[in-house]
Amino acid sequence: MNRHAPWVWLPVAAISTSVYATTYLSVEQAQQTIFPGATFTQAFVALTDDQKREIERRSGVEVSNKEVRLWKVGGVGYFIVDEVIGKHEFITYAIGLNADGSVKQIEIMVYRESYGYEVRNAAWRRQFVGKTTGDAVSLNQDIRNISGATLSSRHVADGVRRVLATYVVALK
């Protein structure tokens, strides 16, 4: 191991944490990352009960929020901000769709994880609702290099399936 000498000796404090949050992109940054230089027009889409049921049937994923955070992108596609909640994670991500409804790009905007009762606690979840990334909760923001698995991407995959079904049912 001495050849690489990868460790640098510095004291590091032990940490006990139940919430961890990272913001990667604001809405505007995500827009410019997926559709550089494009113009965005926010559209307000509220799903009807019939649409909700149809989206759930097509995607196999429950629709928990009937409001779609959608922007039309100057003739080239759509930009949608969506959220998924896993057992320990809460992920906000942006998905860019081409004009034909195919996926252009997906970017994770905010990742939060927590354990135990907090996730199931509606009051705790509500503190995130309606927040912009500017006031995102960011406890222990400096703790980020965790070597240890998470299971996030399956939830994102489910979310993307639901968004694609939403496109077919409500936006197309």
- CB-based contact 76:39 (threshold 8 Å): no
Given 44, 134, 145, 172, the residue binding another protein (CB under 8 A): 145
Minimum CB distance to another protein smaller for 70 or for 95: 95
Minimum CB distance to another protein smaller for 68 or for 156: 156
CB of 46 to another protein, least distance (A): 27
> Is there binding between residue 134 and another protein (CB under 8 A)?
no
Distances (CA, A) of 48 to 149, 167, 169: 38, 14, 10
Q: How far is CA 11 from the centre of its chain?
A: 34
DSSP 8-state class, residue 57: H
> Is there binding between residue 111 and another protein (CB under 8 A)?
yes
Given 44, 49, 75, 116, the residue binding another protein (CB under 8 A): 116
> Is there binding between residue 37 and another protein (CB under 8 A)?
no
Minimum CB distance to another protein smaller for 160 or for 169: 160
Given 85, 108, 136, 171, the residue binding another protein (CB under 8 A): 108
Tokens read off for 79: 């930009």
Tokens read off for 150: 């998470």
> Is there binding between residue 156 and another protein (CB under 8 A)?
yes
Tokens read off for 33: 């990352």
Helix 49-59 with 152-166: angle, nearest 10 deg: 130
Given 55, 93, 167, 169, the residue binding another protein (CB under 8 A): 93
AA letter at 55: I
AA letter at 157: A
> Is there binding between residue 124 and another protein (CB under 8 A)?
no
Tokens read off for 158: 């489910």
- CB-based contact 51:67 (threshold 8 Å): no
CB of 40 to another protein, least distance (A): 19
Which residues of this protein are in contact with another protein, per CB under 8 A?
1-18, 22, 24-25, 91, 93, 106-108, 111, 114-116, 143-154, 156-157
